[in-house]
């Protein structure tokens, strides 16, 4: 069976922080999930994400997730939060092939309005009840806020970019509170 038979985002979530991918981690792509999903990506663009290239790595993960949504013919939306604002960078639409024009201008800095970002993602997803609704939070968890999971989210994943000494584990705690998948991308 070819690589398209596997659902790589779910497979990587099942693997978690383990270094090796094992057969029990593999998840097959469900037939009903091939289309009709809306993936809302919530990207942390706060100042802490600028340290150690975390924002650059988050952009790389975002590109990979967008490409997978494109292959599945799903819809995507992108919200960026940082400073004291949340910006809708890409309203819900069919995923397209990678285009550097939307990714390059995303900059970082300022505080981490996590609750405001999660609220805006919840509002956006609530408008799309007919779709399977996915929320992807890409963050280092450097916020004292602990927002609740938006209602109506079918699948949630916290992609955690915090690493190294002094790690607080807030992204992992948020994922646990949300009953969401917690993924740490390879560095």
Q: Are 81 and 46 in contact (CB under 8 A)?
A: yes
Instruction: Report the first-to-last Cα separation within the chain, whole angstroms.
Output: 29
Q: Which one, of 6, 187, 161, 166, lies nearest residue 175 by Cα? A: 161
Q: Hey, where are the domains in the chain?
A: 36-183
pLDDT in tens, 50-77: 888 899 899 889 988 998 999 888 999 9
Tell whether the model's pLDDT for residue 82 goes beyond 60: yes
C-alpha angle 114-142-185 in degrees, rounded to nearest 5 = 100
Q: Are 117 and 42 in contact (CB under 8 A)?
A: yes
The dotted CATH code for 36-183 is 3.40.50.410
pLDDT in tens, 129-171: 888 999 999 999 999 899 999 998 999 999 999 987 778 889 9
Q: Which one, of 139, 148, 124, lies nearest residue 170 by Cα? A: 139
Residue 39 sits at φ, ψ, to 5 deg, of: -100, 115
Of 9-13, 82-86, 102-106, 120-124, the one with minimum mean pLDDT is 102-106
The DSSP line for 111-132 is ---HHHHHHHHHHHHHT-TTSE
Q: Which one, of 183, 178, 181, lies nearest residue 122 by Cα? A: 178
The better pLDDT of the pair 12, 124 is held by 124
């Amino acid at each position: 069976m070819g690589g398209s038979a596997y659902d790589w985002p779910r497979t990587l979530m099942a693997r978690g922080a383990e270094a090796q991918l094992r057969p029990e981690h593999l998840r097959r792509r469900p037939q009903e999930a091939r289309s009709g999903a809306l993936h809302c990506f919530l990207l942390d663009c706060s100042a802490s994400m600028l340290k150690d290239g975390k924002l650059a790595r988050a952009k790389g993960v975002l590109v990979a997730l967008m490409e997978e949504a494109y292959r599945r013919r799903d819809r995507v939306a992108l919200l960026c939060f940082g400073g004291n604002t949340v910006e809708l960078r890409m309203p819900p639409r069919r995923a397209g092939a990678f285009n550097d024009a939307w990714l390059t201008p995303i900059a970082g800095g300022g505080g981490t309005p996590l609750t405001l970002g999660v609220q805006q993602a919840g509002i956006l997803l609530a408008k799309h009840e007919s779709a399977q609704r996915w929320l992807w939070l890409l963050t280092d968890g450097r916020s004292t806020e602990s927002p609740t999971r938006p209602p109506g989210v079918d699948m949630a994943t916290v992609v955690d970019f915090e690493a190294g000494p002094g790690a607080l584990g807030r992204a992992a705690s948020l994922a646990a509170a949300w009953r969401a998948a917690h993924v740490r991308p390879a560095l």
